[in-house]
Structure 1
Amino acid sequence: MQKFEQTWRWYGPQDPVSLQDVKQAGATGIVTALHHIAHGEVWPLADIQERKRIIEASGLVWSVVESVPVHEAIKTKRDDAARFIENYKQTLRHLAACDIRVVTYNFMPVLDWTRTKLDLELPNGAKALYFDWADLAAFDLHIFQREDAERDYPAEVISEAKQRFASYSSEDVEALKRVILMGIPSEKDITLEDLQNSLIRYKEIGREGLLHNLLWFLREIQSVCEEEGIKMAIHPDDPPYPILGLPRIASGLEDYVKIIEGVNEEFNGVCFCTGSLGAGMTNDVPAIARAIKHRVHFAHFRNVKKDEIGNFYEADHLGGDVDMAQVLAIFIEENQLRSNPIPFRPDHGHQMLDDLHKVTNPGYSAIGRLRGLAELRGLEEGLIYGRLQKNTNT
């Protein structure tokens, strides 16, 4: 029975987690990107070849690109967007020339992801990423001071945000700003003024305009993707609701149906992230998996635990609100219909054990992800064994 391809996100030669560590964890594929190339510029063929050479010299393969960033000029359909579209196409051609054909991307405006704390201490002493609405509101209302921001929060969150801000030291304010602005992918330091200017532009574009720009982008790159056998996998919004007044267009099943049917071709697919989707209060993650499994080109398996307001932390891979067994069962069944299985990676791990004393990329320390990969691998083996037993008995 065909199994998932087990991969691992690696940030390149500067990653504190080495390729040897990845091999010891049991993954066979690498998910990486050329982070040293400025957003919107062509990835040189030689640079791609060199990264691939390093990976293969360690006995691994470069399975998925995560990600080729979509420049803000494309997301906003700026006057100079055509140049960045052509650059994107050329990068796809270079990747295909190196036999790398699954490309993850997102279409989140300005913010790539948002958390309010990177080191929430759990009862067992491990540390996790955390999102708290009151902290976000404290930033939005009292630090960023966005116009009409009060409309986006319930009264109890506004009240709690006011109390928290009053208790913040200047160091607390700077720490919160740093964490939130960390989610803005850029080659330069971002100021609150830069963020404000982006909000003005996206307010004009709106949700429908952003979806229109995404479908335009996909149609522009369609011919290259089909000629080169490239599969594009859009990552869901993280978290899956509007943040700081910015529109979101990939937050749940309805959004994905619009994206898939908007350019209804095989190249146009999904990176199925159980954690991002699981953070949505109304998202039924297994139901979304059943509905769009035929267009899933890549998967992130992680879990979150939410409270009644929607605050969430990154939970154990098998211990959060998402029924991971049900999700994996759906994709195991889908794998049997494919010539090549879906690649997945354990996404976000707790900082734990020896990694508590190391400097690591937030969510990407080694041991927490190793634990997640082991749990997911064991769950897959158990589900497959159950399927085989059931088939034998019938």
Structure 2
Amino acid sequence: MRQTWRWFGPGDLVSVDDMLQAGVEGVVSALHHVPTGTVWTPEAIAGRKREIATRRDGTPSGIAWEVVESLPVSEAIKKQTGDFREHVENYKVSLANLKAAGIETVCYNFMPVLDWTRTDLAFRVAHGGTAMRFDVVDFAAFDIFILQRPGAAADFPQAVGAEAERRFATMDDAQKTALARNVVFGLPGAAEHFSLDDVRAHLAEYGAIDEDRLRRNFVDFLSEVAPLAEELGIRLCCHPDDPPFPLLGLPRIMSTEAQYKTVMEAVDLSANGITLCSGSLGVRPDNDLPGMMQRLGARVHFLHLRNTTREGDGLPCSFYEAEHLGGDTDMVALAAAALAEEKRRRAAGRADASIPFRPDHGQDILDDLSRKAQPGYPAIGRLKGLAELRGVIRGLEFSQAATASG
């Protein structure tokens, strides 16, 4: 398993030098400043590669850009409106440019309107550090009373709606503004940041798009780009919905094993693959992460290893970002399943036998609390997670080697 680290570019408060000290082997990055739907040019790609390859003092870093996260899919493509055909062609050009630059793994998602969604970006946990959290009552308060989405109240259990009304009544203007900002925060460093009016406009356009329609649009997109990716030798890997349940009345189509299986079978090419994110998928108690790795592993091109703790039964539910070996996902079992898949790949002679993973998200601890890097992407919290995961993986590898030799 290849150890990678997400980097948001020169504005990231966790530097290339920091990554080197963490001992990572490769870098996950993107051109966040490029507007969605436009071409990633060879010059822009080369510029990001140079930044990653250079330390603060100008000497070579020795690490390279290995995984793209994300090459975003435009809302026009998801809805099949406006300039979506041009955006699909631009996506294909960008894939070709990435391959020419030697980058072969491309993560993306097909979530409508918002990327990941949280209500609190600095929730205080028991040890005094902070973590990102999704509070279903706060989200209901946002949806029903701040966004004022028609029909929103019917999407929540009656008890949640009643508590949301009580909680909203106690919020001052600053608290309401902070909640709205957190919900629409989107991807750190992205070119697009939505206002409430932007969100309302997008929701109106999704009014006629249900789960089946969105899935058809997704399959149409994959039918265009996956054959080219296969030809180029690029591995596309779709990130799951985060959280993995419907929000804002929008459909979710990549939240369960069955949904992934449907899309993989609809465009049955090895290039059409999976980003298995244990944090996102693990929020659902019906998702068996080690089992998914075993059953879908041949198409898993990228791993996000993080953990979440559910705070209630049923869906939607509240949850927060746990420590990497804490939470509701058995990370040891998942790592063992990933190592078993790598063994199968080596036996089959696959060139991609080593699966890249990154310690996704992390709690802000120690100096992270004053550094205030991108929410979810602290230096020390992720380093702690990577060290723990590295120990688990090495221990499993040692155990397997001992069993094989004994």
In 2, the alpha carbon distance for the partners of 1:290 and 1:223 equals 25
1:356-371 correspondence to structure 2 within 5 Å:
356-371=369-384
In 2, the alpha carbon distance for the partners of 1:184 and 1:59 equals 27
In the alignment, which residue of structure 1 is the partner of 2:88?
85
| TM-score when normalising by structure 2 | 0.94
Aligned length: 390
Question: Is 2:93 the partner of 1:96?
Answer: no
CA displacement 1:292-341 (0-9 Å, x = unmatched): 11100000000001122421110010011000011000000111233330
SS at match of 1:203: coil
Task: Give the counterpart of 1:321 among 304, 307, 328.
Answer: 328
- Decide whether aligned partners of structure 1 residues 222 and 188 sit closer, same or farther in structure 2, where only a CA change above 3 A counts: closer
Contact 1:42 1:90 in 2 (8 A): yes
Question: Is 2:68 the partner of 1:65?
Answer: yes
Shift, 1:192, TM fit: 2.1
1:1-394 correspondence to structure 2 within 5 Å:
4-56=1-53, 57-183=60-186, 187=191, 189-309=193-313, 310-338=317-345, 339-340=351-352, 341-393=354-406
CA displacement 1:209-242 (0-9 Å, x = unmatched): 1100111001111332122111100000000000
In 1, the alpha carbon distance for the partners of 2:312 and 2:31 equals 39
User: Any stretches of 5+ residues in structure 1 without a counterpart?
Assistant: none
In 2, the alpha carbon distance for the partners of 1:284 and 1:253 equals 8
Shift, 1:193, TM fit: 2.4
CA displacement 1:140-170 (0-9 Å, x = unmatched): 1111111111221111111111111011011
Contact 2:131 2:320 in 1 (8 A): yes
User: Aligned partner of 2:23: which letter?
Assistant: G
In 2, the alpha carbon distance for the partners of 1:204 and 1:374 equals 47
User: Any stretches of 5+ residues in structure 2 without a counterpart?
Assistant: 54-59, 346-350
Contact 2:274 2:301 in 1 (8 A): yes
Shift, 1:283, TM fit: 1.6
SS at match of 1:205: coil
User: Aligned partner of 2:31: which letter?
Assistant: L
RMSD (Å), alpha carbons = 1.3
| TM-score when normalising by structure 1 | 0.96
Decide which moves more: 313-322 or 57-66: 57-66
Contact 1:110 1:184 in 2 (8 A): no
Decide which moves more: 199-208 or 374-383: 199-208
Decide which moves more: 140-149 or 298-307: 140-149
User: Aligned partner of 1:216: which letter?
Assistant: D
- Decide whether aligned partners of structure 1 residues 378 and 190 sit closer, same or farther in structure 2, where only a CA change above 3 A counts: same
User: Aligned partner of 2:370: which letter?
Assistant: H
Decide which moves more: 145-154 or 252-261: 145-154
In 1, the alpha carbon distance for the partners of 2:284 and 2:176 equals 27
